[in-house]
Amino acid sequence: MTDYEPGRTHHHPELARREFWAAVGRWLTIGILVLTAGVLIVENTITTTAIRHSQVDRAHVIDQGTEAAKAAQSGVDILNDCLTPGGECYERSQQNQARILEVVKAQTIYIALCVRDPGTSHNPAALTACVDDMAKEFGYGIGD
């Protein structure tokens, strides 16, 4: 057998091994991209909300120069809070990053366990279902 056919046993162990690691790599890449996108969306939402709350209603400002300086200082304060260890925003970001690493580690283990099953190793839908089932049973799924 020379061509890859899903669900069929390979007579070339090296080819099967390479396909296995390629599949694992693809799933890890997808997982990391999804997690990274989620974190960026959450952090962007938090920052946007904080900036909106710190802005002054310009229609009621008598001295626009003073109010603009206050708003700018508020933005600087927010940035300092997010960039300085000990700041609430900074600590929240550190916790989010730690959580992402926990999820990636758990998902990697689940993928490694699921691909051992011949029924999932060459079937992306079955592999995804297996990983989702393990995440529901043991925790640390993407939605946790």
Q: What pLDDT score does 53 carry?
A: 64
**What does the domain layout of the chain look like in residue ranges?**
24-138
The string of DSSP codes covering 43-106 is: HHHHHHHHHHHHS--GGG-S-HHHHHHHHHHHHHHHHHHHHSTT-HHHHHHHHHHHHHHHHHHH
What is the distance between the alpha carbons of residues 67 and 61, in angstroms, rounded to a whole number? 7
Q: What pLDDT score does 59 carry?
A: 47
Segments of the chain scoring below 70 in pLDDT: 1-11, 53-65, 141-144
Q: What pLDDT score does 26 carry?
A: 83
Q: What pLDDT score does 142 carry?
A: 57
What is the distance between the alpha carbons of residues 143 and 113, in angstroms, rounded to a whole number? 20
Q: Tell me the per-residue pLDDT of 69-98, one tens digit each, with 9 for 90 and over.
A: 777 788 788 888 888 888 888 888 888 888
Q: What pLDDT score does 58 carry?
A: 46
